[in-house]
Structure 1
Amino acid sequence: MEKHRRRAAPSVSAMDLTIHASFLPHDDPDAALAFYRDTLGFEVRGDVGHGGTRWITVGPADQPGTSVVLTPPAADPDLTDDERDTIAEMMAKGTYAGIVLATADVDATFDRLQARDADVVQEPIDQPYGVRDCVFRDPAGNWIRIQQSR
């Protein structure tokens, strides 16, 4: 039996990469805007409509280079009707998309969001993998996990 030798990985210089944008689906642009702007306190960086659809870009005011694009999930013309139905079903269950945010005080953040009638999925708990976090659901069903920053 021939042995395979692992080659050493070539030396690669570090790349200067940052997260510019992530995408979350929405099925009601006005409800999404109200949640991300009014409940989470994100600033609105863009609000673009085209052909009956709407993309809204939001992000934390103190992080101008990082954005969340709230996008219509079925805007891709290559999706089949079955795929659109699957996406709608997964969004309704909260299993299609999500994002993890971090805060210095997860308990205080939880209290503020709960007071603003955000949809609570999980109250703050210490996870077995070493973080303390909580989870909310946005109007489209996306999970917004908020963890205690270190």
Structure 2
Amino acid sequence: MDITIHTTFLPHDDPDAAVAFYRDALGFEVRSDVGEGTMRWITVGPPGQPGTSILLAPPAADPGVTEEERRVVTEMMAKGTYGWILLATPGLDAVFAKVRDAGAEVVQEPTEQPYGIRDCAFRDPAGNLIRVQELR
């Protein structure tokens, strides 16, 4: 079987802030931006990796989602417990400094974990947890 990860989903609650964060702080390309107002579906991804993307989408945009479910999703986003992603780079310290200097909420500075991975963590503008591992 030949299968790859093509796109993963993260919610956003402010499309302009999401674009600025993923484009300017992480250096991702904006590949598409569809919709208007807060109802925008934005696809971003690392340069040189056209087959891998993150879809930044409005949370609970499905018309079948109840107001109570939307409220729960919004609360989970604010706590950083709804969406998260794990990225990797050979230049962890440089990535951490760039994202920190862009104003991201730092959750963990670069740390050597007991399980052998050096990583850091921060939140995007919607509260999603972004962990970045160092490639060795």
Task: Work out whether the TM-score is over 0.5.
Answer: yes
Q: TM-score range by the shorter chain?
A: over 0.9
Q: Which amino acid aligns with 2:24?
A: D
Higher mean alpha-carbon deviation, 47-56 vs 91-100, is at 47-56
> Which digits, 9 at most, give the CA deviation of each residue in 1:75-108, with x for residues without a partner?
0112111111100000011111000000002122
Match of 1:136 among 122, 125, 131: 122
Which residue number in structure 1 is paired with residue 26 of structure 2? 40
Which residue number in structure 2 is paired with residue 73 of structure 1? 59
What are the ranges of 5 or more consecutive residues in structure 2 without an aligned counterpart? none
Count how many residue pairs are aligned between Structure 1 and Structure 2: 136
Q: 1:122 to 1:51 in 2, by over 3 A?
A: closer
How much does 1:50 deviate? 5.8
> Which digits, 9 at most, give the CA deviation of each residue in 1:24-49, with x for residues without a partner?
00000000010001111100100000
Larger Rg: 1
Higher mean alpha-carbon deviation, 78-87 vs 44-53, is at 44-53
Q: Which amino acid aligns with 2:108?
A: Q
Extract structure 1 runs of 4+ deviating beyond 2 A.
none
Which residue number in structure 2 is paired with residue 91 of structure 1? 77
Does the alignment pair 1:23 with 2:23?
no
Q: Is the 8 A contact 2:15 2:40 kept in 1?
A: yes
What are the ranges of 5 or more consecutive residues in structure 1 without an aligned counterpart? 1-14
Match of 2:113 among 121, 127, 130: 127
